[in-house]
């Protein structure tokens, strides 16, 4: 785990703020500086809760790749889209959402960002660093090699 603290998360006050991130991602209009670790989880939860026409696990990869390209981030073997991190984060977001009683979406997003998932290093409890940041894991799903993800 790193000693670097994640950027400070400003809690949401409404579902409209959550929706703005989700819509901004899909429209590729979210400012690049707004595409944070918290925004990844927020957009995942928004997609799951508000876009029944989309399947997060199937559609998020192409949405993120397109967003990256629109903001000048190339999707290569070392930069941009990362399949294993995306799919692991979607599994974690879905499990977190399912484990919480019904509440406004912004409250669930805030709770997630107060949980251990708030740190990008949560993944390193499940994958060795060299596995997670390999070209194979960036391009395709690579199962955890330290401990399984909670379901």
Which pLDDT score, from 0 to 100, does residue 26 have?
Answer: 98
- Contacts of 101 by beta carbon, 8 Å cutoff, 6+ apart: none
Report the candidate in 109, 1, 135, 114 with the shortest Cα–Cα distance to residue 45. Answer: 109
How much is the pTM?
Answer: 0.91
What is the structure's pLDDT at 73?
96
pLDDT tens over the chain, length 151 residues? 444 445 578 899 999 999 999 999 999 999 999 999 999 999 999 999 999 999 999 999 999 999 999 999 999 999 999 999 999 999 999 999 999 989 999 999 999 999 999 999 999 999 999 999 999 999 999 999 999 998 6
Residues contacting residue 148 through CB under 8 Å, at least 6 positions apart: 126
Token pair recorded at residue 47: 């997609």
pLDDT of residue 9: 82
């Amino acid at each position: 785990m790193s000693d670097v603290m994640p950027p400070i998360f400003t809690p949401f006050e409404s579902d409209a703020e959550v929706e703005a991130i989700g819509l901004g991602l899909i429209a590729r209009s979210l400012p690049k500086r707004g595409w944070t670790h918290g925004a990844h989880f927020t957009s995942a939860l928004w997609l799951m809760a508000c876009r029944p026409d989309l399947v997060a696990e199937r559609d998020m990869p192409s949405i993120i790749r397109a967003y990256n390209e629109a903001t000048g981030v190339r999707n290569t073997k070392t930069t941009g889209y990362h399949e294993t991190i995306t799919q692991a984060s979607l599994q974690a977001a879905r499990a977190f959402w399912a484990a919480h009683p019904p509440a406004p979406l912004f409250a669930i997003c805030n709770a997630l960002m107060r949980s251990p998932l708030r740190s990008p290093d949560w993944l390193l409890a499940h994958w060795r660093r060299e596995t997670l940041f390999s070209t194979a894991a960036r391009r395709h799903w690579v199962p955890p090699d330290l401990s399984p993800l909670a379901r």
